[in-house]
């Protein structure tokens, strides 16, 4: 399928335990509850828009499932734990450059940390990026003190490339580790499994 066709609607992706799908209004109470947890947005550099009511909810849904999607700015997935039919996270793949590069971001409810859900969702988003979108490079920026996120990315085939000193991160300046996975290495690694 051509690159542009993937942006008509947020594509549904599935793993053993998770469903990555578009956000809908019924997800918002649970999503906003965990996004307002200071532990969840601690490493985001003030870059989280912590809205909680209308018209912000409708505008956000219209943006991620409409304007930002149609402009090929970002794919935003709601991560649902299939066994509980519960929203436990979010994964973004966006900032596309010449249909060959993108940036990955993700957030998960604190009660689901350390259970492998972030790694599972990230691996599926990366698989989609390389196999379906035919991206060449997927990168992620992480604050160095966020050891859990660094582990998730490294388990997903990302390699640290360096430290960006006082990099614009979220809405603040922080030292930031840049990690990336490249298509050839990722597909070769997948073939060995």
Give the residue extent of every domain in the chain.
3-192
Helix, strand, or coil here: 87?
Answer: strand
Query: Per-residue pLDDT for 193 more than 50?
Result: no
Spatial CB neighbours of 131, under 8 Å, sequence gap ≥ 6: 187
CATH class (in words) of the domain with range 3-192: alpha beta
81 burial class (0-12, 13-18, 19+ CB within 10 angstroms)?
Answer: middle
pLDDT in tens, 103-152: 999 999 999 999 999 999 999 999 999 999 999 999 999 999 999 999 99
pLDDT, tens digit (0-9, with 9 covering 90-100), for 140-191 = 999 999 999 999 999 999 999 999 999 988 888 999 999 999 998 776 665 5
pLDDT of residue 24: 96
The pTM of this model reads: 0.92
Tell whether the torsion through CA atoms of 126, 129, 132 and 137 is positive or negative.
Answer: negative
Task: Give me the DSSP letters along 122-173.
Answer: HHHHHHIIIIIS--SEEEEEE-TT-HHHHHHHHHTT-EEEEEEEEEEETTEE
Sign of the Cα torsion 116, 118, 120, 123 reads negative
Least Cα distance to 117 among 65, 81, 153, 167 occurs for 81
% of the chain surpassing 90 pLDDT: 76
Nearest to 10 by CA among 128, 152, 187, 186: 128
Q: Would you place residue 44 in the very low, low, confident or very high pLDDT band (cuts 50, 70, 90)?
A: confident
């Amino acid at each position: 399928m051509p690159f542009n066709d993937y942006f008509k609607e947020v594509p549904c992706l599935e793993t053993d335990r998770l469903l990555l799908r578009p956000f809908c209004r019924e997800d918002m109470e649970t999503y906003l509850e965990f996004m307002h947890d200071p532990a969840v947005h601690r490493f985001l550099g003030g870059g989280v828009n912590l809205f909680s009511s209308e018209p912000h909810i409708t505008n956000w849904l219209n943006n991620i499932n409409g304007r930002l999607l149609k402009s090929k700015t970002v794919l935003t997935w709601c991560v649902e734990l299939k066994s509980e039919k519960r929203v436990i996270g979010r994964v973004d793949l966006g900032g596309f450059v010449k249909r060959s590069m993108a940036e990955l971001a993700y957030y998960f409810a604190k009660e689901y940390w350390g259970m492998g859900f972030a790694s599972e969702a990230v691996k599926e988003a990366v698989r989609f990026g390389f196999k379906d979108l035919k991206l060449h490079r997927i990168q992620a920026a992480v604050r160095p003190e966020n050891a859990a996120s660094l582990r998730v990315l490294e388990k997903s085939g990302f390699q640290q490339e360096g430290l960006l000193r006082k990099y614009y991160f979220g809405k603040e300046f922080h030292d930031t580790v840049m990690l990336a996975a490249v298509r050839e290495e990722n597909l070769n690694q997948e073939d060995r499994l």
